[in-house]
Amino acid sequence: MSRLNYHHLYYFWQVAKGGNLTETAQRLHVSQSALSAQIKQLEHSMQVQLFSRQGRKLVLTDSGYQTLKYADDIFSRGAELEQLLLKGMQPQSSPIRIGTLATMSRNFIESFITPLLATADSRYSLVSMNQTALLNALAQHHLDLVLSNIAVQGNDSQLWQCRLLARQPVAVIGPPGKALSDNLAAYQQQRWVLPPVQSPIRTAFDAFAAQYQLRPDVVAEADDMAMLRLLARDSGALSVMPEVVVKDELKSGRLQKYLTLPQLYENFYIITTQRELLHPQLAVLLQAFTQTT
């Protein structure tokens, strides 16, 4: 069993913040001797000195400063827990925990969290995993939401809430200056870097190629959009991806869009679980993203 007495720690925390034993005792409506005895018991149980005396003034030792830092966190989190339980809401200061599919476009993720980037006091964490790990973390309340390009359906034991955030048209992207047009025959002799065959974009592209009797020369595959962006930029081959993935390269002219593929989209989803308590920043993010798309 832990030797740390949180009642004693609370009294230490109050004295350390106020810096004056007498004034703190008056504010807490306890005697000065009782307050001092509580702190001495904490020091004895932890076998450490938290204060040193300089005349009539109490000064924190190095151990005292470390203890104060932890006590600040402990009791501020306690206040957040009280607000959560009594008012049924998480405080705005609580970090929102966002899971992202490892193979997703980083540009899309950044566009979704723009309201957090623009607010100085926002707190958030981003964790990148595969789909199974993301859903497990979400189910265990380690994440507040998941961003993915793979839809998910609930079952009797776990009711996922999967909402379509955006549909991005998929385009043929490549180095500038190629003599290509809307005539699909011009794409017959080109080299390609593509997503792997199990990805939704590749499945749709292969169906498109079969429909128009294209036989793409696939020289490389990558399941990560960041890697696919680099291959499209540096290999000289064509690729297929949403424009958002390479928006900076398109703007600078390092890459060029040659063709928007008809009826071919990448879908982006937000996945949550059915909970009584949702992070307040979630509604802010959804509203802001809806207004910009």
- Report pLDDT digits (tens) over 162-176: 999 999 999 999 999
User: Residue 17: its pLDDT value, please?
Assistant: 85
- Residue 218 class from Cβ within 10 Å (0-12 exposed, 13-18 middle, 19+ buried)? middle
Is 70 exceeded by the pLDDT of residue 233? yes
pLDDT of residue 1 exceeding 60: no
In this model, does residue 134 exceed pLDDT 60?
yes
- Cα–Cα distance for residue pair 116/99, rounded to 1 Å: 15
Closest CA to 63 of 38, 77, 44, 43: 43
Is the CATH code 1.10.10.10 the one for domain 6-87? yes
CATH of 167-265, one of 3.40.50.300, 2.60.40.10, 1.10.3720.10, 3.40.190.290: 3.40.190.290
How much is the pLDDT for 109? Answer: 93
Domain boundaries, the chain: 6-87, 96-166+269-292, 167-265
Dist CA 89 CA 256 (whole Å): 47
According to DSSP H, which parts of the chain are helical? 6-18, 21-28, 32-46, 62-87, 106-112, 114-117, 131-139, 200-211, 225-234, 247-252, 280-292
Is residue 172 within 8 Å of 240, Cβ to Cβ?
yes
Residue 163 pairs with which residues in a beta bridge?
270
What is the distance between the alpha carbons of residues 170 and 31, in angstroms, rounded to a whole number?
Answer: 72
Tell me if domain 6-87 and domain 96-166+269-292 are identical in fold: no
Task: Please report the pLDDT score of residue 158 as a whole number.
Answer: 60
Q: What is the mean pLDDT of the chain?
A: 86
pLDDT in tens, 167-221: 999 999 999 988 887 778 788 878 999 999 988 889 889 988 888 888 889 999 9
172 has which bridge partners?
Answer: 240, 259
Query: Residues 6 or more apart from 106 whose CB is under 8 A from it?
Result: 225, 226
pLDDT at 198 (0 to 100): 86
pLDDT at 76: 77
Share of the chain above pLDDT 90, in %: 35
Q: Report which secondary-structure segment, H or E, holds 221.
A: strand 217-221
Report pLDDT for 147.
Answer: 95
Q: Considering the domain delimited by 96-166+269-292, tell me its CATH architecture.
A: 3-Layer(aba) Sandwich (3.40)
By the 8 A CB rule, do 8 and 48 touch?
A: no
User: Is the whole model's pTM more than 0.85, yes or no?
Assistant: no
Mean pLDDT over 20-29 rounds to 87
C-alpha 221/C-alpha 231 separation (Å) is: 9
The per-residue pLDDT for 180 is: 85
Coil vs helix vs strand at 126? strand
- Would you say residue 276 has pLDDT above 80? no
Tokens linked to 228:
């696919």
pLDDT given at position 118: 82
* pLDDT of 224 above 70: yes
Tell me the pLDDT tens digit for each residue of 65-93.
Answer: 999 988 888 887 777 677 667 765 555 56
